[in-house]
Chain A
Amino acid sequence: MAQVERQQWDVVVVGAGGAGLRAAIEARERGARTAVICKSLFGKAHTVMAEGGIAASMGNVNDGDNWQVHFRDTMRGGKFLNQWRMAELHAKEAPDRVWELETWGALFDRTPDGRISQRNFGGHEYPRLAHVGDRTGLELIRTLQQKIVALQQEDFKEHGDYEARLKVFQECTVTRVLKEGQRVSGTFCYERESGRFFVLEAPAVVLATGGIGKSFKTTSNSWEYTGDGHALALLAGAPLLNMEFVQFHPTGMVWPPSVKGILVTESVRGDGGVLRNSEGKRFMFDYVPDVFKEKYAESEEEGDRWYEDPDHNRRPPELLPRDEVARAINSEVKAGRGSPHGGVFLDVSTRMPAEKIKRRLPSMYHQFKELADVDITAEPMEVGPTCHYVMGGIAVDSETAATVGVPGLFAAGEVAGGMHGSNRLGGNSLSDLLVFGRRAGLHAAEYAARGASPTGRPAVSQAEIDAAAAEALAPFHAAEGAENPYTLHQELQTTMNDLVGIIRREGEMAEALERLAALRVRAARAGVEGHRQFNPGWHLALDLRNMLLVSECVARAALERTESRGGHTREDCPAMERTWRPVNLLCRPVDPVPADPAADRIELVRTRTEPIRPDLLALFEKEELVKYLAEEELYE
């Protein structure tokens, strides 16, 4: 029997990125005693990597902007698969969430009249992104972090204890959401520093753990992005939604290896950077799809003229949507025309003078100079697609962020699905974190206040704790011939990258599922050296369970959806099919869990999306809707 410390809280927030911190602030302000579980140090969350900005239709730069326009852009970006009520709430509430940050001390870049400056971004009709240079994510995290500290200072004044009503558990990880019956009763956690287990008993748990990028070899995501929240939800019985939609950014760094996957911002291409293959050819001209033919330049000369005179020339094909560019790069590399390190060349050095490059692209110049020792004013960059974001996630109620079928479990941020449909617009993720982070915190606090009565708080059973502890300790008891978790992780990343990556084929995905089954078998034997105190090998062994589960969801859903849409591209089904528009794919855990590790863990369920509200549909032209909506939806 595992003796573990138990603490009682009202709301436990798992994850301390933008969504988690915003949820915690809201829950605490609504009176709930709130604990935040933070996988690394407080303030290091992956949110800091966001550069572009926060999309919110404040209309500071162009007063034509409003929530309806933002809603429309978001739905178009997501190819109409978005959970429309989320997109609506998001567009309506984003400005308030940004303004609120200012009252907590955030300092955004300003317009000449002193308001928050807003910048243009792909897919947004008006300048809409509130930003601070190219470090908006850092500003967001720091502001939320400092707001939490401000609340703790209030509590200190009142109770003499900073952590009386809001506590951040740094470098702790949740391995199980605990339940009594159907209801959430708490979380089982370990502390990295000591390896100690502890249980937080709480009627409400908010999952805000971010994405799944670490299941892929090339990714812009950090080590924490192992799909923990997705897996915790599945294991607790809550389904995931549309996991096949994974956004690959076309231009990540591929060389040197130390920086593989780190983003090269889109503005490199917007400012004149061109893509070339190993033969020196600007290959993008060969990859303009028919639907875009009349909108893009047909010759290099015309494309080059566009930078100076966009009104009388068509834009160069390097500026096609992300998925098109990523696909083209992929094809060139597969055809053997890639760069030495498996990407293609992105060149600005021959396109503008060095001074201009440094002035227009300062952060990129420094990124390559400092991280890679590459002078982009003198030589081309090597770039290739990198896994960036998962649009799919835990299925949630649009209003309350509550998960499906597990009372007391909420989800917000990248871990939640639905908001972005099949493809996310730049800038919409930071606003998503704030809008739905707040909603999750609000409803979790209300639920906790209600849930405490009349039957009392759900209890945590010793049996559940013992099971969770045994599961977490298993890697220390591996028999002879234990598998190295690092090796397993690398093989998993290769499998997902090569077989369920940016371009997907039926046969490859089927193979991926077989390989995942084999990896599951081996992962059951994963073993580690050393002891429980800050042991990264052990932590990885525990994260493997989550990555394997989530990867199975992605592969299974991707195999099922026989069309190409947004972040899901099937070579064997290249067209977007209107009949698939109203279809959601839900991943559910196989119940009961099969004893054989090779057996499937996930089953797919098709559901129909809720019909889009007529007044929202009315925001679009009929001709546009015809392109997206299924036949029967048009007559509803």
Chain B
Amino acid sequence: MSTYDASFRVWRGDAEGGELRDFTVEVHDGEVVLDIVHRLQATQASDLAVRWNCKAGKCGSCSAEVNGRPRLMCMTRMSTFERTETITITPLRAFPVVRDLVTDVSFNYQKAREVPAFVPPEGVAPGAYRMQQIDVERSQEFRKCIECFLCQDTCHVVRDHEENKGAFAGPRFLMRVAELDMHPLDAASDAGLDRKRTAQEEHGLGYCNITKCCTEVCPEGIKITDNALIPLKERAVDRKYDPLVWLGSKIGRRKG
């Protein structure tokens, strides 16, 4: 077992301000960045604020930016860095900072509330739901999401433009719309809710310019852009830009 001292720069501060602080920390074989942060807490900075839970890449709590890239700290192995490299850890830079590596991610919980929930089909009793495996697989991929919010963090629409936060739900929640729209038993349309239309008009699908950073950072390997966002854009085209549908709506409007 080999041990070495690594150089770290960790952002410490709060909403008032802060700075990158230098630390030299012992690193053991097979460790991940989160282990190093824990060692910092136990030996040098007992009040270093950090979120984490499962430490196995399953809960999506320990999101941060390591050398400028949005990552789960528990899934970033130290062996991927040079021993001489200085490793920089900062909080997520798209959300308001609370303290040290902890940010206020309430934006995401607000957006979650704005997506209308699953609408159960009328007249189908619990236990009587029948769905084919091939029909649930698309939505199942999206339900692998562990809500680490790395996609929300990296998406330039809100990362670089605070003012877009009101209009744009972000990849995670557009994917949620896609998940529900592809759910074989979702009865939203029977209830008068057109998810394709709302994706565009209420959740800001048009802001997405499919530059795929969400897919790049997803620790679950979900093909967010190809399997959720683009299909959703195509579904919106069905509704809004299909000339026949458009013509129909024009005529309908004139009548109305």
Q: Which residues of A contact B (CB under 8 A)?
A: 40-44, 46, 48-49, 58, 95-96, 99-100, 102-105, 107, 109-110, 112-115, 117, 132-133, 135, 138-139, 142, 146-147, 149-150, 152-153, 156, 162, 170, 193, 222-224, 255-259, 262, 367, 370-373, 484-487, 490, 528-531, 533-538
From A41, A48, A102, A535, contact of B51 by CB (8 A): A41
Contact digits for B168-196, partner A, Cβ 8 Å, 1 yes 0 no: 00000000000010010010000000000
Of the 9-residue stretches B52-60, B159-167, B225-233, B248-256, which lies at the interface with chain A? Answer: B52-60
Count, chain B residues at interface, CB 8 A: 61
Kindly state the separation between the CA atoms of A485 and B112 in the bound complex, as whole angstroms: 37
Contact indicator A109/B49 (Cβ below 8 Å): no
B42-80 contacts to A (CB < 8 Å): 42, 46-61, 74-75, 77, 79
Kindly state the separation between the CA atoms of A95 and B125 in the bound complex, as whole angstroms: 13
Number of A-B contacts (CB under 8 A): 171
Contact indicator A258/B46 (Cβ below 8 Å): no
> With contacts A371-B75, A533-B99, A534-B102 known, is A222 near B139, CB below 8 A?
no
Q: List 10 A-B contacts (CB under 8 A).
A: A41-B105, A44-B54, A135-B58, A149-B113, A156-B113, A193-B102, A257-B30, A370-B57, A371-B57, A535-B47
Kindly state the separation between the CA atoms of A486 and B186 in the bound complex, as whole angstroms: 49
Contact digits for B1-34, partner A, Cβ 8 Å, 1 yes 0 no: 0000000000000100000000000001111101
From A42, A105, A162, A222, contact of B118 by CB (8 A): A105
B206 proximal to A (CB < 8 A):
no
Contacts of B245 in A (CB 8 A): none
Kindly state the separation between the CA atoms of A109 and B143 in the bound complex, as whole angstroms: 12
Contact indicator A537/B54 (Cβ below 8 Å): no
Contacts of B52 in A (CB 8 A): 223
Kindly state the separation between the CA atoms of A105 and B136 in the bound complex, as whole angstroms: 11
Kindly state the separation between the CA atoms of A420 and B98 in the bound complex, as whole angstroms: 41
> With contacts A103-B129, A113-B130, A146-B117 known, is A535 near B49, CB below 8 A?
yes
CB distance from A362 to the nearest CB of B (A): 12
Kindly state the separation between the CA atoms of A423 and B232 in the bound complex, as whole angstroms: 47
Kindly state the separation between the CA atoms of A233 and B140 in the bound complex, as whole angstroms: 39
B238 proximal to A (CB < 8 A):
no
Contact indicator A373/B79 (Cβ below 8 Å): yes
Contact indicator B126/A372 (Cβ below 8 Å): no
Q: Closest residue of chain B to A163, judged by CB?
A: B113
CB distance from B83 to the nearest CB of A (A): 15
Contact indicator A102/B47 (Cβ below 8 Å): no
Kindly state the separation between the CA atoms of A150 and B98 in the bound complex, as whole angstroms: 28
Contact indicator A536/B61 (Cβ below 8 Å): no
Contacts of A58 in B (CB 8 A): 127
Q: Closest residue of chain A to B50, judged by CB?
A: A536
CB distance from B194 to the nearest CB of A (A): 17
Contacts of B59 in A (CB 8 A): 44, 48-49, 222
Contact indicator B56/A256 (Cβ below 8 Å): no
> With contacts A114-B132, A533-B14, A536-B47 known, is A99 near B126, CB below 8 A?
yes
Contacts of A536 in B (CB 8 A): 41, 46-50
CB distance from A225 to the nearest CB of B (A): 10
Kindly state the separation between the CA atoms of A367 and B58 in the bound complex, as whole angstroms: 11
B146 proximal to A (CB < 8 A):
yes
> With contacts A153-B113, A255-B30, A258-B31 known, is A44 near B183, CB below 8 A?
no
Closest CB pairs A-B (n = 8): A256-B30, A530-B47, A105-B118, A150-B117, A114-B130, A537-B46, A99-B126, A534-B49
Contact indicator B105/A46 (Cβ below 8 Å): no
Contacts of B99 in A (CB 8 A): 193, 533-534
